Amino acid sequence: MVSSSAHFLFFTVLIVFFFQPCFQHSLCRRDERLALLQFKESFVVDKHASFDDPFAYPKANFWKSQGKDCCFWEGIQCDQDIGHVISLDLSSSYLFGSINFNSSLFHLIHLQHLNLAFNDFNYSKIPSAFSNLTSLTYLNLSNSFFVGQIPFELSRLTSLSTLELVPNYEGGLELKMPNLRILVENLTSLEYLHLSGTKINSRIPTTLANMSSLRSIDLSDCGLFGEFPMAIFQLPKLQVLIVSFNVGLMGNLPEFQFHNQLTTLEIQNTKFSGKLPASIGMLSSLEVLSIDNCNFSGLLPPSLGNLTKLQGLQCYNNKLSGIVEIDPFLKLKHLEALSFSRNNILLLIKTRESANTTTRKLRSLELGSCSLKEFPSFLHNLDQLEILDLSSNDIGGKIPKWIWTFSKSLSFLDLSHNSLTNFEKFLNAFPSSTLDYLDLSFNKLKASLPIPPFSISFFLVSENKFSGGIPPEFCNLTSLQFLDLSHNNLNGMIPPCIGNFSKSLAILNLQGNNFKGPIPPTWVDGNNLKLIKLGQNNLKGKLPRSLANCRMLEFFDVGNNHIRDTFPYWLGTLLRLKILILHFNRFYGAINGSESDSLFPNLRIVDLSHNGFVGLLPTKYFERWSAMVDADRENTKYWEAYDNYEWNNIMLLPSYHYSMTITNKGVKMEYAQVLEIFSAIDLSCNKFEGEIPDVVGILKGLELLNLSNNILVGPIPPTLGNLKNLEALDLSQNKLTGSIPTQLTLLNFLAVFNISHNHLVGPIPKGQQFDTFDNSSFDGNLGLCGLPLSRKCENSKALPPPFSTSNGNEDYGLLTEFGWKTVALGYGCGFLVGVVMGNIVFARTREWLMRIYQTRLSRG
């Protein structure tokens, strides 16, 4: 941009110098000049308005110094003969403010080209007055913080050949009324239709296939569904087709013809299925083919090897099969990204060692789940590689030394889920210095922890047999963001630097090792920690109060240690804390709070079981745990920690799924992923006394409530019938009295119910879930009667009628959705100790990485 403006200046000088005699007065019309100045004045100049574009600068700021003739101002072009302003390009110009319907912009009715992309129009709507600019052929309002419905009036701009309206965030703009079909109905000259990220939420109109001028369609991330109209593939000029990330969109690939001009075909993360036609080899112009995360099956056609212009071939996660000889692909001279991961592909690696390596540009290679038995030797030739994924293969033995050095620029290496046993030659430190991301988890690595390169941001080695301590050099890894050492045989003390060595550390998982001693107290103010898991170790002492400095913390787990402390009410100030797990420790005393207002406002899961807490149940906390009141079962998002990560000047959002285990009266529930709306209270196996307060009944989001194995007395509060989401209710092994409130029959999702070993009396309610519980739910209450117990009630007429509810047949449907599985049944405290799977799902990370990578590729 700088160079083009310099060029423009030069042009200006030339014109003035040579042609001055021809123009006595300026070309620019006064009213248009005023309109331009007025338009400019309606904005604040703010650098943040164009933060997305590193090359942005305030173009309009130079106008006044560029003379009176607006035709020579930066970003403006005029009609040569008449002098009307016909082009205005103020993209990336730091403009901040809104555009009103009466903006002077709409007086520039001769405009043909208008680009206002990458500014900040302050979340305003796109004014309908754009329809006044009837000469427009080019309209680009991308990434400019316009929001809401795209106005119907744009459908009148019938000369448009380019329409680009990409919102800053998914769904920021909407296209419902008018919908896509109506909007483009009369835009018959359209060549570029780019609406990626706009909330369209409809089928793709078949009329698109009649718009024969179309060259480029980008409708990714638009909520499109239904069958993709095959006729669109026949559009004679089509070069770019991107409909990726529309998870409801179905379709097949057609037989392609020889004259096809497609350069980019991106349909990843849709429901496209069927075979890849052999005629795909006809797409001689194809540069990018992305079918990741679709449902393609059948053999991978060898004709792919004929696509000599291909830069990216992404087949990650389909059902493709066959034997692929890697050699033909390596001959594709422009290939930069190749992904076969997660298919049924058996790679038959044939390479000629004599092959010329200088032509190999491959930068990303994904061969996860490709039945590889060893490290492919052709990697030696790929010295430009940045991303290498060999995860989920059958590679055993030692990790060869050369893997760290064969590429000068390796930044992402995933060797997880193999059978690797050790490092070739003991490795103190990795020779490679470019590595950002290293995943060695789920192997059989038996060694002491290697010291990652200084640059590392992601170091994941869970589920191995690493032993020894954490070397002091880790304190120097100041760029670390995710550190997962969980489920190894590591021991020694946790290094004191753990709380302050890296400002960017977001994930710290040391779960399932043999770490001993106290938890270091160095948690500094302003740290970025979102997850701290220290469970299943031998940690002693108190919880350091400086943990309250972890203001970003969402997940804290110190379960299964020997912590001896009172209840950490002081963590209540952590506004983001959602999961607090203290189970199987030596916490003691009553749960009292401070007088502070802040009592865990966002907590949704609290597990204090198997400790020595005494006193009354914490009524004050039940009243304040307002996040647990939310019972929105529609929300199907899983909890994961996101973090920003800059990779080659690109912002990525790697994520880390939350996983945990909750033990509920012998039923161990493993949550590999946790739904955001999941909510649980487990206070079992303590010494709580007194009555169960009625107020528990306000926590309507609760799915699991376990108060078993305490010394609770009094009745079961009927308010528990309000907890409509409850799936597991365990009040067993207490001293509860009275009868079972019939309100409990309202709990349609209840699958686990246990009130055994109390002093309850009277009839067992009938109907709904109660017909599914067996004896064991009620055992040890000498006064209970009625089915399923053999003891009949003396006067069955006294039985109150069950509460009427809607048809309860949906009951179990949701259980599986909540992702927990019943592992075993048993009784008594401590029957099963939870084993948390350090379950990381990186698919999403990978998608982002690849998606952005492709964007780079396709932009050349």
Binding of ligand NAG at residue 302 (CB under 6 A)? Answer: yes
Q: Which of 213, 303, 598, 619 binds ligand NAG (CB under 6 A)?
A: 303
How far apart CA 116 and CA 133 sit, in angstroms, is 14
Binding of ligand NAG at residue 830 (CB under 6 A)? Answer: no
Question: Given the complex with ligand NAG, which of 44 and 348 has the nearer CB atom?
Answer: 44
Binding of ligand NAG at residue 210 (CB under 6 A)? Answer: yes
Question: Given the complex with ligand NAG, which of 42 and 371 has the nearer CB atom?
Answer: 42
Judged by CB under 6 A, the stretch of 111-119, 310-318, 483-491, 779-787 that binds ligand NAG is 111-119
Question: Given the complex with ligand NAG, which of 194 and 624 has the nearer CB atom?
Answer: 194
Binding of ligand NAG at residue 271 (CB under 6 A)? Answer: yes
Phi, psi of 110, deg, nearest 5 = -95, 0
Asked if 669 and 823 count as a contact pair (C-beta separation under 8 A), the reply is yes
Q: Which of 61, 212, 234, 359 binds ligand NAG (CB under 6 A)?
A: 359
Asked if 825 and 667 count as a contact pair (C-beta separation under 8 A), the reply is yes
Q: Which of 473, 676, 689, 691 binds ligand NAG (CB under 6 A)?
A: 473
Alpha helices of 306-350 — where are they, by DSSP H? 326-330
How far apart CA 396 and CA 374 sit, in angstroms, is 7
How far apart CA 21 and CA 92 sit, in angstroms, is 36
How far apart CA 99 and CA 313 sit, in angstroms, is 42
DSSP-assigned letters across all residues of 73-115:
STTEEE-TTT--EEEEE-TTS-EES---TT-GGGG-TT--EEE
Judged by CB under 6 A, the stretch of 154-162, 485-493, 597-605, 770-778 that binds ligand NAG is 154-162
Binding of ligand NAG at residue 358 (CB under 6 A)? Answer: yes
Contacts of residue 219, Cβ cutoff 8 Å, sequence gap at least 6: 193, 195, 196, 200, 204, 242, 243, 246
Q: Which of 226, 431, 468, 472 binds ligand NAG (CB under 6 A)?
A: 472
Asked if 274 and 249 count as a contact pair (C-beta separation under 8 A), the reply is no
Which of these, 42, 189, 170, 16, lies nearest to 102 by C-alpha position? 42
Phi, psi of 522, deg, nearest 5 = -90, 20
Least Å distance between CB 501 and ligand NAG?
Answer: 6
Least Å distance between CB 227 and ligand NAG?
Answer: 13
Question: Given the complex with ligand NAG, which of 210 and 648 has the nearer CB atom?
Answer: 210
Least Å distance between CB 216 and ligand NAG?
Answer: 7
Binding of ligand NAG at residue 230 (CB under 6 A)? Answer: no
Binding of ligand NAG at residue 273 (CB under 6 A)? Answer: yes
State the binding string over 607-636 for ligand NAG (x if CB under 6 A, else -). Answer: ------------------------------
**Helix or strand run (H / E) with residue 40:** helix 30-41
Closest residue to ligand NAG, based on beta-carbon distance: 303
Q: Which of 50, 87, 91, 411 binds ligand NAG (CB under 6 A)?
A: 91
Question: Given the complex with ligand NAG, which of 132 and 264 has the nearer CB atom?
Answer: 132
Residues numbered 485-524 forming contacts with ligand NAG, rule: CB under 6 A = 497, 500-501, 522
Structure tokens at 599: 């009592």
Structure tokens at 176: 């419902």
Residues numbered 113-132 forming contacts with ligand NAG, rule: CB under 6 A = 115, 117-118, 122, 129, 132
Q: Which residues pair with 541 in a beta bridge?
A: 563
Binding of ligand NAG at residue 453 (CB under 6 A)? Answer: no
Which of these, 206, 210, 212, lies nearest to 191 by C-alpha position? 212
Q: Which of 39, 130, 192, 375 binds ligand NAG (CB under 6 A)?
A: 192
Question: Given the complex with ligand NAG, which of 107 and 624 has the nearer CB atom?
Answer: 107
Binding of ligand NAG at residue 134 (CB under 6 A)? Answer: no
Give the CA-trace dihedral at 820, 826, 829, 831, to 10 degrees: -80
Q: Which of 185, 325, 630, 676 binds ligand NAG (CB under 6 A)?
A: 185
Q: Which of 11, 82, 100, 635 binds ligand NAG (CB under 6 A)?
A: 100
Question: Given the complex with ligand NAG, which of 271 and 398 has the nearer CB atom?
Answer: 271
Least Å distance between CB 45 and ligand NAG?
Answer: 10
DSSP-assigned letters across all residues of 684-737:
-SSEEEEEPPGGGGG-TT-SEEE--SSEEEEPPPGGGGG-TT--EEE--SSEEE
Residue with tokens 């969109």: 249
How far apart CA 447 and CA 464 sit, in angstroms, is 9
Residues numbered 333-352 forming contacts with ligand NAG, rule: CB under 6 A = none
Q: Which of 61, 134, 188, 206 binds ligand NAG (CB under 6 A)?
A: 206
Binding of ligand NAG at residue 234 (CB under 6 A)? Answer: no
Judged by CB under 6 A, the stretch of 401-409, 471-479, 556-564, 826-834 that binds ligand NAG is 471-479
Asked if 241 and 265 count as a contact pair (C-beta separation under 8 A), the reply is yes
Binding of ligand NAG at residue 257 (CB under 6 A)? Answer: no
Question: Given the complex with ligand NAG, which of 166 and 751 has the nearer CB atom?
Answer: 166
Q: How far is CA 119 from the centre of its chain?
A: 26
Least Å distance between CB 710 and ligand NAG?
Answer: 40
Residues numbered 25-64 forming contacts with ligand NAG, rule: CB under 6 A = 44
Binding of ligand NAG at residue 739 (CB under 6 A)? Answer: no
Least Å distance between CB 210 and ligand NAG?
Answer: 4
Judged by CB under 6 A, the stretch of 63-71, 75-83, 417-425, 472-480 that binds ligand NAG is 472-480
Binding of ligand NAG at residue 306 (CB under 6 A)? Answer: yes
Size of the site for ligand NAG (CB under 6 A): 48
State whether the Cα torsion 476-485-584-574 is positive or negative. Answer: positive
Structure tokens at 653: 């959002």
**Helix or strand run (H / E) with residue 17:** helix 2-19
CA distances from 105 to 63, 76, 115, 130, 154 (A): 16, 13, 12, 9, 15
Q: Contacts for 777-780 with beta carbons within 8 Å, 24 or more apart?
A: 777/753, 780/756
Least Å distance between CB 452 and ligand NAG?
Answer: 12
Which of these, 362, 304, 307, 373, lies nearest to 330 by C-alpha position? 362
How far apart CA 782 and CA 780 sit, in angstroms, is 6
Asked if 314 and 337 count as a contact pair (C-beta separation under 8 A), the reply is yes
How far apart CA 516 and CA 75 sit, in angstroms, is 65
Question: Given the complex with ligand NAG, which of 290 and 611 has the nearer CB atom?
Answer: 290
How far apart CA 338 and CA 289 sit, in angstroms, is 10
Binding of ligand NAG at residue 162 (CB under 6 A)? Answer: yes
Binding of ligand NAG at residue 455 (CB under 6 A)? Answer: no
Binding of ligand NAG at residue 106 (CB under 6 A)? Answer: yes
Asked if 267 and 293 count as a contact pair (C-beta separation under 8 A), the reply is no
Q: How many CB atoms lie within 10 A of CB 856?
A: 17
Binding of ligand NAG at residue 383 (CB under 6 A)? Answer: no
Least Å distance between CB 288 and ligand NAG?
Answer: 16
How far apart CA 450 and CA 401 sit, in angstroms, is 13
Binding of ligand NAG at residue 590 (CB under 6 A)? Answer: no
Least Å distance between CB 138 and ligand NAG?
Answer: 7
Which of these, 577, 593, 583, lies nearest to 563 by C-alpha position? 583
Question: Given the complex with ligand NAG, which of 44 and 825 has the nearer CB atom?
Answer: 44
Structure tokens at 768: 């709904």
Question: Given the complex with ligand NAG, which of 245 and 600 has the nearer CB atom?
Answer: 245
Binding site for ligand NAG (CB under 6 A): 44, 91, 96-98, 100, 102, 106-107, 115, 117-118, 122, 129, 132, 140, 142, 155-156, 162, 164, 182, 185-186, 192, 194, 206-207, 210, 271, 273, 281, 295, 297, 302-303, 306, 356, 358-359, 472-473, 475-476, 497, 500-501, 522
